[in-house]
A = this chain, B = another copy of it.
Amino acid sequence: MNVKPDIKAAATVPEGYVLEDQVGHLIRRAHQRHTALFLAMIGDSQVTTTQYAALVKLHEMGELSQNHLGRLTAMDPATIQGVIRRLTSRKLISHRPDKNDKRRRCLSLTPAGRELVAKLMANGPKVSKATLEPLSPEEQRQFLALLKRLT
């Protein structure tokens, strides 16, 4: 098993192009790390990052249509559909038809959903803190400012 660089193959690699240094690869790994921290620290072994986002936004906004919630949490209609289905089956979210628009489902938190989201949001800042922990406070501020402009 060859573990050293393949000289013949490497000869055609563009100068200085290292996979591990590419933004995309680094973002993907940072995302993996954050997801692992989230699942370990958020306080409910079933709730994922996207489910958390949906719950928090519903808590903040009160009542929303499905696609609107998707837009607010950066999920396309197919993705938010599955997230809502799973949260509904756990009885954390309920839905009723919209009075004025028969296409829409009005989503809202159930009492159980409100109770859970309050508990999870107590841990949310800890997850963010742990994710940024390798950086100093000043670096964290810089990093967040730059990251925000890449979205």
Contacts and interface: CB of A to CB of B under 8 A. Distances in A.
Q: Which of A27, A35, A53, A139 has the most CB of B within 10 A?
A: A27
Top-8 shortest CB links A-B? A6-B62, A29-B151, A143-B146, A2-B63, A24-B34, A30-B150, A26-B147, A134-B149
- Majority DSSP secondary structure for residues of A touching B: helix
A4 B68 CA distance: 12
Nearest to A22: B128
A44 to B, nearest CB: 15
A114 B13 CA distance: 11
29 contacts: A1-B104, A2-B62, A4-B61, A9-B60, A10-B59, A13-B121, A14-B122, A14-B125, A17-B121, A17-B124, A19-B53, A19-B57, A23-B34, A23-B132, A24-B127, A25-B74, A26-B148, A26-B151, A27-B30, A27-B31, A28-B31, A28-B49, A30-B147, A30-B150, A33-B151, A131-B150, A134-B149, A143-B146, A143-B150
Number of identical monomers bound together in the oligomeric complex = 2
A122 B13 CA distance: 9
Interface residues of A, number: 72
A94 to B, nearest CB: 14
A148 B85 CA distance: 36
A144 interface: yes
A112 interface: no
